Amino acid sequence: MRFSTILATLWFLPAHHALGQTAIRVELMDTAVFASPRLTESSGIVASIRAPGIFWTHNDSGDGAFLYATDSAGRDLGAVRVAGARAVDWEDIAAGPCFVAAGRCLYVGDLGDNGARRPYVIIYRVPEPEPPSGPVDTLGSAAILDSIVLRYPDGPHNAEALVVTRAGDLLIITKDLAGPAKLFRTTLRRGPVGRVLQLLGALRLQTSALTGRLVTGAAVSPDDSLLVVRTYVSLHFFLLRGDSLPTPFGPPAGVTIPVVEPQGEAVCFDGATRLILTSEQGLASHAVLTRLRLTWPTH
């Protein structure tokens, strides 16, 4: 159920002109409460490939290996158990070609490592199932295609942001309490063997635990051109440049998210000009979903 309408509009100027000498406008459309009683910590979200208007999301640590289907109104459209997967600390989800098989896949990132102790992290590659046709007690199932086991070249990191591009890159952005947000890369055009991630460098964005600017999610636009990275309180945009460090499209402080979330966690594109944000529930509130509109004025 939606409980707000358009509340705010924010602008920021790009640092480069690849999209023209204009400002990106971020406009709050509306917010909704997740209806599913089990969906309390929406930590990742991605638009369905098979069912337009449907989104897949999942809980943070403490839940089983479940994917939940919803829409922009937060309706409970059922859940799917991912057979063959474990849910240690699922933090983000992306979608793209399966690459090693025909069809389209969901990529579930078991990336969380608050203590920076895990010797490796796992990405589950799951052929996207049909969304369930009923509420959460209508349980579907899906099996993993494979498990991609990844190690960082410089030791363990905590991370909550995962991106898959159509070109076959898998990107992970760290959420370390100290130091910058680092961007790591690997290719999805190889089989499910263990591999070491490639460090592309530190993203040009302000990070601070004191101000809530810690990276909690990321997504790529449908045409692979624009990367959006979110923190608890801000959005940051970058122009993707193949296997090089993305070019910042705006100031390091980003743009403030124009709504107060209990604990902002996830972001995905809904088409080329809309973003979906989700949050975990707060101490006295519900997990929420927020829709934003992006525009590039021509004047």
Does the predicted TM-score (pTM) go above 0.85? yes
Number of domains in the chain: 1
**Mean of the pLDDT values across residues 53-63?**
92
| Domain encompassing residue 233 | 2-295
Whether 113 contacts 159, CB under 8 Å = yes
Whether 112 contacts 60, CB under 8 Å = yes
Phi, psi angles (nearest 5°) of residue 90: -70, 130
pLDDT at 223 over 90: yes
The token pair at 194 is: 């263990």
Provide the pLDDT for residue 297: 57
Confidence class of residue 268 from pLDDT cuts 50, 70 and 90? very high
CB atoms within 10 A of CB 240: 21
CB atoms within 10 A of CB 35: 17
For 49, residues 6+ apart whose C-beta sits below 8 A from its C-beta are: 95, 104, 128
The token pair at 198 is: 């490639």
Per-state percent for the chain, helix, strand, coil, to nearest 5:
0, 50, 50
Query: Order of strands, edge to edge, in the sheet holding 42-47?
Result: 42-47, 55-59, 66-70, 79-83, 139-143
Give the pLDDT confidence of 238-264 residue by residue, as tens digits.
Answer: 999 877 899 998 888 889 999 989 899
Provide the pLDDT for residue 258: 92
Q: Which amino acid is it at 30?
A: D
Mean pLDDT of the chain: 87
From residue 94, how far is each of 12, 33, 165, 251, 269 by CA, in Å?
26, 22, 9, 26, 10
Q: Supply the CATH number for residue 94's domain.
A: 2.120.10
Q: Which amino acid is it at 87?
A: A
**Mean of the pLDDT values across residues 53-74?**
94
- Interatomic CA distance for residues 147 and 150, integer angstroms: 10
Provide the pLDDT for residue 296: 72
